Structure 1
Amino acid sequence: MRYTRRFWYGVQCALLVQWGTPYCRRYAKERRMYLGVQLYAFEKEYVLSEPDYVFRHLAEIGYQAIEMPFLMDVHTYTKKYNLQYSALHTGPDALNDLPEIISHLQSNDCQNLCISGPLAWHDRSLSNFQKTCAFLNEKAELLKSEGIKIHYHNHDFEFKCAEDEISPFEILLEQLDPSLIQFCVDTGWLHMIGLDPVTFLKQYRHRISYAHLRDFLNGKSVALGQGSVDVASIVNELNDNSSLEWLVVEHEPEDAALEKLSVSRSYLKTELSL
């Protein structure tokens, strides 16, 4: 059997990683990071009515994975267009029906859950976040035995101080079990709340396993590279996180979603070599 030069290069890198060679470490890490897209950019009814069109075009644009904001059997389309199912994105209340969640994820070859917000979504009290942490830890322990991981997705409100000038994020950081639950960091929301995303990503690198890329201009969601978020610096920092496997582009829903996602993909490819 003849082996290509690329094959032998991969073998060399695999052997040299353990010796600490920086370049090979980077090569091995990059082989594990995939660029996905959050289908929240589309109206649910549109995705359900035109799934083949949506998935085919996302693959043609150059995305490698999809993140679903609702339950839908996508295996036919991910297999057809060589896409991965990075995560199901839902609220914590959905975990009250674990058998349904587990069945959906396993039948669609997905191993990740991105959880947004606390139980009782509009209750932003610290006590509700404490209750949410206990709930998620319990469910994550059960999901772990099924090979499913939870990643908590932030918005801006987790960083707004509530009682005693403690923010919900501090509760999440302290009470979520890091061996079970990591963070899905929405870098756009960090920017919008006035935090420096790069500083945040450095400080909590050991707790971050999943990331969302967003851009904003005057408070409005725009394609990557067209707003005030320093996407390039964010991506450079995320490239140094060896535990990060999924990098997902997120936009707010709008009629021209495919065109906007295409602009974002083009920016990542031409400007950042992703």
Structure 2
Amino acid sequence: MTKFNNRREFLKISAAGALGLTVLGPLACAPKAVDRKSFGVGLQLYTIRDAMAADVLGSLKKVSDLGYKNLELASYSDGKFYGYAPKEFKKIVSDLGMTILSSHTQVEAAGITVDNAQKMADDHAELGVKYCVQPWVNEEDRNIETYKKMVGDWNEVGKIMKGVGIQFGYHNHNFEFKNIDGVVPYFDIFMPEMDPEYITMELDLFWTNKAGYDPVDLFNKYPGRFQLFHMKDMGKKEAPFFDVNKDDVTSVGAGVIDFKSILAAKDVAGMKYMFVEDDNQGNGRPFEELEVSIKNLTTDILV
């Protein structure tokens, strides 16, 4: 404990301390910087696909520096992820302070053999993901008969994935909501015929809105079936449409979607993780747009 020789010395030192606080002003009591990673915001790497093709390591570092914590991949081929073996890529990401949670992997309409599905499952298990997601249906396959066949195939893939501890999933666009001769595939085929034990839904909030549906209504209709959210905003509200027109994609919080009301119902949805995505790669400025998204999420939407 400091011992002062007299009261005058004590007052002199106290006054100097007070002056220091006055000079520093607001800096003396500046709030601690927000730890963005603590919010667990994820990124679908399709958002920066061109950057990843040009520079995997540099692009991942930029993503980490922005504060994204979790990743969803969009490149699996010949047993590798972005050209790296599973354990190698996992270490790259882990060393940057991030976690690979999910991977988009296409199962074509022609189907997949049990051996191929097992190989895909084993590679993803080695990578350590919790989810593997079907992201797309080719335009020529968007008909009732093929949808039914594909859902059956996905259930089988989901069983194989479950065997290695991975949850299979399906990511929607807007075309699944298109009425085909009185049948709306999302409600009449996908949700009733996908086995909830083997397939969870990754709800894309942009495409669901563009199809004219309120995500919260879907949560109430199918509680617990939406473990993953794709977070992307839209510039304007407009009449529902079902072609994949992505010109209106914008950064999260920069558009018209009410994310707070959607996230208020996340427990009903069964949501566990969210991933920011921009199909347009930020119109040539992906990292700048990703900064806007994570800033809005961590300073407003999630607080």
TM range (shorter): 0.7 to 0.9
User: Matches of 2:250 and 2:193 in 1, distance apart?
Assistant: 34
User: Matches of 2:103 and 2:276 in 1, distance apart?
Assistant: 14
Letter in 1 for 2:289: K
Identity %: 23
User: Matches of 1:250 and 1:182 in 2, distance apart?
Assistant: 19
Q: Of residues 214, 217, 220 in structure 2, which corresponds to 1:196?
A: 214
Segments of structure 2 that go 5 or more residues without pairing to the other structure are 1-37, 237-246
Contact 1:67/1:86 (CA < 8 Å) preserved in 2? yes
User: Matches of 1:203 and 1:214 in 2, distance apart?
Assistant: 22
Letter in 2 for 1:43: R
Correspondence for 2:104: 89
Counterpart check, 1:215 vs 2:233: yes
Counterpart check, 1:166 vs 2:183: yes
Letter in 2 for 1:160: K
Contact 2:219/2:265 (CA < 8 Å) preserved in 1? yes
Runs of 4+ with >6 A deviation: none
Aligned-pair distance for 1:66? 0.7
Correspondence for 1:39: 45
RMSD of aligned C-alpha atoms?
2.1
- The change in CA–CA distance for 1:241 and 1:80 in structure 2 (over 3 A counts) is farther
Correspondence for 2:134: 115
Correspondence for 1:156: 174
Aligned-pair distance for 1:255? 2.2
User: Matches of 2:125 and 2:39 in 1, distance apart?
Assistant: 21
User: Matches of 1:33 and 1:152 in 2, distance apart?
Assistant: 24
Name the SS of the counterpart of 1:262 in structure 2.
helix
Correspondence for 2:72: 67
Name the SS of the counterpart of 2:264 in structure 1.
helix
Name the SS of the counterpart of 1:208 in structure 2.
coil
Q: Of residues 264, 281, 284 in structure 2, which corresponds to 1:255?
A: 284
User: Matches of 2:265 and 2:112 in 1, distance apart?
Assistant: 32
User: Matches of 1:242 and 1:202 in 2, distance apart?
Assistant: 7
Letter in 2 for 1:205: P
Contact 1:33/1:247 (CA < 8 Å) preserved in 2? no
Name the SS of the counterpart of 1:206 in structure 2.
coil
Letter in 2 for 1:101: M
Name the SS of the counterpart of 2:140 in structure 1.
coil
- Which has more radius of gyration? 2
Letter in 2 for 1:123: D
Aligned-pair distance for 1:36? 0.6
Letter in 1 for 2:186: F
